[in-house]
């Protein structure tokens, strides 16, 4: 158990809909990362927050957005969903030093768009 909690574990929704994925980082971790893993693909970096502020952005679509709340949990919002958005979405967290820090992953939220 990495200490990173993600909900829901599985989600099935229709095209055009909107979903919210939630992540609670490890106790004491200030940084939260979101990654997407599509079928047979590597882990694609989406976005990172540090203590409530966006710190780095990767290949995140405009239809997707995220935020980190004062209690440090984070949410990833996916809207106008398309079939190609079906993927495993991982949240990870790390300690307050951003660089040279191990990041610890949650078990992921499996999104299926039908």
Partner 1 sequence: DQQVKQNSPSLSVQEGRISILNCDYTNSMFDYFLWYKKYPAEGPTFLISISSIKDKNEDGRFTVFLNKSAKHLSLHIVPSQPGDSAVYFCAAGGSGTYKYIFGTGTRLKVLA
As a whole number of angstroms, the distance between CA 48 and CA 23 comes to 12
Instruction: Identify which of residues 34 and 113 has a Cβ nearer to partner 1 in the complex.
Output: 34
Q: Shortest approach of partner 1 to residue 80 CB, angstroms?
A: 25
Cα four-point dihedral sign 52, 49, 75, 25: negative
The upper half-sphere exposure of residue 103, i.e. CA atoms within 13 Å in the direction of its Cβ, equals: 18
Q: Which of residues 72-101 bind partner 1 (CB under 8 A)?
A: 90, 92, 98-100
Instruction: Identify which of residues 60 and 65 has a Cβ nearer to partner 1 in the complex.
Output: 60
Q: Is 22 in the site for partner 1 (CB under 8 A)?
A: no
Instruction: Identify which of residues 59 and 77 has a Cβ nearer to partner 1 in the complex.
Output: 59
Q: Is 8 in the site for partner 1 (CB under 8 A)?
A: no
Give the DSSP letter of residue 85. Answer: G
As a whole number of angstroms, the distance between CA 95 and CA 25 comes to 10
């Amino acid at each position: 158990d990495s200490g990173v909690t993600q909900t829901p574990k599985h989600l099935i929704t229709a095209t055009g809909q909107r979903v919210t994925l939630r992540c609670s980082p490890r106790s004491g971790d200030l940084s939260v990362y979101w990654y997407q893993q599509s079928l047979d693909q590597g882990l694609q970096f989406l976005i990172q927050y540090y203590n409530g502020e966006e710190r780095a952005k990767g290949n995140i679509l405009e239809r997707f957005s995220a935020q980190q709340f004062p209690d440090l949990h984070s949410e990833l919002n996916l809207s106008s969903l398309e079939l190609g958005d079906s993927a495993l979405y991982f949240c990870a967290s790390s300690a307050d030093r951003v660089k040279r820090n191990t990041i610890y992953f949650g078990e992921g939220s499996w999104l299926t768009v039908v």
